[in-house]
Chains A and B, each alone.
Chain A
Amino acid sequence: MTLDELIERQESERERQRKLKRRILCCTAAGCMSCGAESVRKAVAAEIQAEGKEAEMEVCGTGCMGLCSRGPLVRTSDDGALYGNVDAEDAAALVSEAPAAYARLGVKRIDTSAPFFTKQKKIVLAHSGEVDPERLNDYIAAGGYQALGRALAEMTPEEVIAEIRKSGLRGRGGAGYPTALKWELVAKQSATPKYVVCNADEGDPGAFMDRSILEGDPHLVLEGMAIAGYAVGAQQGYIYVRGEYALAIQRLQAAIRQAERERLLGSRVFDESFQFRIDLRIGAGAFVCGEETALIASIEGRRGQPRQRPPYPPESGLWGQPTLINNVETFANVAPILLNGGEWFASIGSGASKGTKVFALAGKIANTGLIEVPMGIPLREIIFDIGGGVPGGGGFKAAQTGGPSGGCIPAEYLDTPVDYESLAAIGSIMGSGGLIVMDQASSMVDVARFFMEFCMDESCGKCIPCRAGTVQMHDILTRILQGEGAPDDIEMLERLCVVLRETSLCGLGQTAPNPVLSTLKYFRHEYEQLVQPKPAAAGGES
């Protein structure tokens, strides 16, 4: 396909959609799927057929619509209405144009002027819930692959990197390394071949952003990777995706096939001399493979154990070749930046944190689901306005960000703006975007023990501080929780935290103490109550 043909295809697909009286969009992301979305979609399709309305209505499955707690979700295109808790029996009403239908559906209609919707800003998730991830034409109608086409036709690789630099985009996997710097490092290597790797080994417990992006808009990630390939001079890309994400894998495979068929990937992309292939590598269940050198080992078919850095992957990565590794959400930001310009992107967000961030809201919060907010938004707005607060009257106690590498943020820091630096300053991290809310009933020592158990299980065993240290810390935390802790246990925990942080080989061990450190900092009294049990009972535990 050429760029002109792509634009023509966009026009004709838009025209086709405009002529339809109604498109009925059913969320078929994993969350809605598990509460019956597929039966809703089938029932609507059957109803359209039974009514003989195939020419004027169509039903399609889409990616995540965000409000997972109200699934299955359905949206109708003509009036933009969003309905929650839809079941197969609503099919007739969804297809009907009679006012009576609205009476049935009215109670299921979700108010889209609520803060949950209005306080969000969607760049990465702009198509999620709007396009059918299994239809390439849907993505093309939304402007898909134009950023790649334009980059190949009108920009040099240096200009692409300059645009990314202007945008201020930073890695969305957690560490926040400037994306343009990484691209430059790979681009200036003279060794070939070079590789582009998409890290989709989303392993933080409580995080499902990457999975939702891959399920809802796989082409957006493919396009971002191809642009990166052009910018750094690579011809081969790999997506390393968690084996647990069956639906994402299936949709990625389909998307790669479609794009190759239309010459949007493969050899002679857009009939230009640029070639770029993407292959999937399925992870086999090891959290440490999110670490870049471990991920490389795993793609090479070895045990996923990290190695000493430097050399960093941009110099020596996959099979010793220059390798660019970015996270799913980072790649998903690339095409919108090229389409709208780096300045546009840099105008969103705050300080050194530009653009938006996708968060997965979970735990004791009313609106669990997937959200995208401008960086710098206060945590309070995310939890209380967008999230709808803490249900059940338990009251807010802490928000956990950054998974096992992050920390717990107590109520007094609720007004902290959500950006890389502010979160780091209060002992947590942005992380990849998992945000779990805990209410007063949660024991923070138990939360710390939970994360330590996770790190203990996932430690690859290569370096001693992490392999042995996580076990010792887990034992102490368990002992404290059982009311058998000694008064000097807290001090011992703190010492172990320092040892792990300073001497572990990779990020897993270095950050494993964070949940303990942050709970010790803000909820020390819970530890102290447990190590010196009053005759009555150990408080703080529920």
Chain B
Amino acid sequence: MPATTAAPDSVRDNREKMLERAMSRHNYSGDALIEVLHAAQELYGFLPPELLKKVARKLKLPPSRVYGVATFYHFFSLQPKGEHFFQVCTGTACYVAGAQELLNVLERRCAKAGCTSPDGKVSVQAARCIGSCGLAPAVIYDGRILARVTEKQLNEELDRIGVS
């Protein structure tokens, strides 16, 4: 399953082995590229160039194809993510309920949508509709859905995690 944060330390040492296992489960088939990239991102938190090259070699695909797929889908990130990750839903219901104001707060205090704050603390993303329209505006914060988020709540949470 796609994770939004990097794997814990205990898993980290085994990452290479686990990625190998994910690829062998699919018989190193090129058709399984997206599944393998999901697994790789879950293990490493993001997809650095060396990792993409390695996947290309193992699945016997041209690196251009692997890079092409990794950059096509929003889910894959070629940059490391921050310590905390805010995904602000920008579906219609959330948009009508003020998602833009939440993004403005994050941009003012941390980073623009799609970027990570310079201190590496917070990554911000404008997510496509997460299908929680009854909870608008919704934010996925480190993998948890927060409902009916206000600017005040968001500011308080940023204070709590030490964003100046």
Question: A: which residues have CB within 8 A of B?
Answer: 30-31, 33-35, 68-69, 71, 202-208, 211-212, 243-246, 249-250, 281-287, 298-305, 360, 362-364, 368-369, 400, 403, 434, 436, 438, 442, 447, 450-451, 454, 458, 460
Question: Is B96 within 8 A of A304, CB to CB?
Answer: no
Question: Is A246 within 8 A of B128, CB to CB?
Answer: no
A460 to B71 Cα, complex, angstroms = 11
Question: Is A205 within 8 A of B92, CB to CB?
Answer: yes
Tell me whether B32 is interfacial, beta carbon within 8 Å: yes
Question: Is B35 within 8 A of A282, CB to CB?
Answer: yes
Question: B: which residues have CB within 8 A of A?
Answer: 1-2, 29-35, 37-38, 65, 68-69, 72-76, 90-93, 95-97, 127-136, 138, 144-147
Chain A CB within 10 Å, residue with most, of B73, B95, B131, B145: B131
Question: Is B92 within 8 A of A302, CB to CB?
Answer: no
A245 to B75 Cα, complex, angstroms = 12
List the A residue with the shortest CB-CB distance to B94: A205
Question: Is B131 within 8 A of A244, CB to CB?
Answer: yes
Question: Is A34 within 8 A of B146, CB to CB?
Answer: yes
- Report, nearest first, the 4 A-B pairs whose CB atoms are least far apart: A68-B134, A362-B133, A284-B73, A208-B131
A–B complex contacts, Cβ < 8 Å, 14 sampled: A31-B135, A35-B147, A203-B129, A205-B90, A206-B93, A206-B133, A208-B129, A284-B73, A284-B75, A285-B74, A303-B69, A362-B92, A451-B92, A460-B72
Taking A34-B138, A301-B69, A305-B72 as known contacts, 12 extra A-B pairs with beta carbons closer than 8 A to each other, sorted by chain A number, are: A30-B131, A205-B128, A205-B129, A281-B34, A284-B2, A300-B31, A302-B65, A363-B96, A368-B134, A436-B92, A436-B133, A438-B96
Question: Is B92 within 8 A of A369, CB to CB?
Answer: no
A360 to B133 Cα, complex, angstroms = 8
Question: Is B128 within 8 A of A362, CB to CB?
Answer: no
The interface residues of chain B lying within 8 Å CB-to-CB of A436 are: 92-93, 96, 133
Contact of A284 among B29, B34, B97 (CB under 8 A): B34
The interface residues of chain B lying within 8 Å CB-to-CB of A454 are: 128
The interface residues of chain B lying within 8 Å CB-to-CB of A458 are: 128
How far apart are B13's CB and chain A's nearest CB, in angstroms?
A: 26
Question: Is A243 within 8 A of B32, CB to CB?
Answer: no
A245 to B68 Cα, complex, angstroms = 24
Contact of B34 among A69, A206, A287, A301 (CB under 8 A): A301
A284 to B37 Cα, complex, angstroms = 9
Question: Is A208 within 8 A of B133, CB to CB?
Answer: yes
Question: Is A243 within 8 A of B134, CB to CB?
Answer: no
The interface residues of chain A lying within 8 Å CB-to-CB of B145 are: 30, 33-34
The interface residues of chain A lying within 8 Å CB-to-CB of B32 are: 301
A434 to B134 Cα, complex, angstroms = 12
A203-B129, A301-B31 given; A362·B93 CB < 8 A: yes
How far apart are B162's CB and chain A's nearest CB, in angstroms?
A: 25
Question: Is A363 within 8 A of B92, CB to CB?
Answer: yes
A301 to B1 Cα, complex, angstroms = 17
